[in-house]
Amino acid sequence: MRIVELYGGGTGGGAARHLMDLLPALAARGDDVHYVSLGRDDLQPQGAERHTVQGFGALVRRIKQLHPDILHTHGVRANFRGRLIGRLQGAAVATTVHSFLAQDYRSALRADLALQLDSATLHWSDRLIAISQSLREDLLLRGALVQSVVVVPNGITPPPPDKNTLRKLVPQRPLLCVAARLHPTKGVDVALRALALLPGAHLAVLGEGAERAALETLTSQLAIADRVHFLGYRSDFAAIVAAADAFLVPSRAEGFGLAALEAMAQGVPVAASRVGGLPEVVGDGGILVPPDDPAALAKAAGALLARREEYGQYARARAALFSLDAMANATQAALREAVEVRC
């Protein structure tokens, strides 16, 4: 099966990490995989030939040259273009849905436009792959047909743990960690307010985004600037998080929670908001709290620190349920079904 993976997003988010894991796994299963970027990333997935295309006309021509059995799209820009080209060229289309669109934009107007455009073209995808049950329910509310939606949770193969790098950057203990795009949806401000209730604890913030200046200002207002360490985006997060004592996911919305899974796979327990796909991921591998509740998050983090080894074992066992093999097998099956539906 020749698969064109079409992506229009950035480099550091969950969708990008999903692609970097999925494409080599599909190639290893015998598929002919081509990665087509709309030019806003620097991903180089193993096992897939990369094509960078600027402009819709050039994209149409490149897809026609590749003559795929299926277009597999990721992200609003790629979804719309891929679905339209699928209709023009008669190719099957599948879309993996990674997040709640209404929460992905800082501008309410842009969010509304993206949501309307994506919802209006959902039925142009022969299969919609939701990475959590929560996202499946959202797709159905947006008008997707029940028979077109399949749930395929993210899966990972954890890298060897690196317990030195993060400790060199932040030697103090106890060390909490949050890894996220610095965007209001991710709730990093809630983590900072929780830290203010945990005297002596330090917080490593891994990620970049437009909210960084505001978050740095908040650390000064809360008098915790000396206990917060903004370390920027780290591509090696999945390995270096092993050095943390607990991991915080204070999101206000979350389609899945890949960072939580990566931390749990390293035996790091998680305190996370009870939103979106996070309850499906965390299970008994951590503690769930209401969103936007710094006191509850601080209490959960304290409980994890008090029983670090015990919760760490639960976290690792829970993460083992989400394997890359299972994700790749289920995704490949969904793509084949989409081709059969179109035929």
pLDDT in tens, 253-308: 999 999 999 999 999 999 999 999 999 999 999 999 999 999 999 999 999 999 99
Q: pLDDT tens for residues 181-212?
A: 999 999 999 999 999 999 999 999 999 999 99
What is the predicted pLDDT for the residue at 40?
76
Beta carbons of 279 and 288 less than 8 angstroms apart = yes
Identical fold, 2-155+323-342 and 165-319: yes
pLDDT of residue 102: 74
Is residue 98's pLDDT more than 80? yes
Among the four given CATH numbers 1.10.357.10, 3.40.50.720, 3.20.20.70, 3.40.50.2000, the one describing domain 165-319: 3.40.50.2000
**DSSP per residue over 194-207, as a string?**
HHTTSTT-EEEEE-
- Residue pointed to by tokens 């997003």: 9
Give percent above pLDDT 70 in the chain. 99
Mean residue pLDDT across the chain: 94
Asked whether the predicted pLDDT for residue 70 surpasses 90, the reply is yes
Residue 284, CA atoms < 13 Å, CB-side half-sphere? 5
Q: Which residue has the higher pLDDT, 13 or 33?
A: 33
Average pLDDT over residues 320-343: 94
Q: How large is the average pLDDT for residues 61-82? A: 95
pLDDT at res. 137: 96
For residue 151, give both structure tokens: 């749930």
- Whole-number pLDDT of residue 80: 94
Over residues 101-129, the mean pLDDT reads 86
pLDDT at 10 over 90: no
Is 2-155+323-342 a CATH 3.40.50.2000 domain?
A: yes
Provide mean pLDDT across the span 140-151. 95
- Asked if residue 12 has pLDDT above 90, the reply is no
CA distances from 175 to 170, 205, 215, 316 (A): 8, 11, 18, 19
- The mean per-residue pLDDT over the stretch 207-220 comes to 96
pLDDT at residue 109 above 90?
no
Pair of tokens at residue 256: 């899945």
Where are the chain's structural domains?
2-155+323-342, 165-319
Q: What is the pLDDT of residues 223-251, one digit of tens each?
A: 999 999 999 999 999 999 999 999 999 99
- According to the model, what pLDDT value does residue 45 have? 92
Helix axes 308-319, 294-306, angle to 10 degrees: 100
**Confidence at residue 181, expressed as pLDDT on a 0 to 100 scale:** 92
Q: How far is CA 304 from CA 124, 197, 248, 279, 322, in A?
A: 45, 15, 11, 17, 22
CA distances from 130 to 51, 100, 179, 295 (A): 25, 11, 22, 32
8 A C-beta contact, residue 115 and residue 101? yes
Give the pLDDT of residue 117.
87
State residue 9's pLDDT score: 74
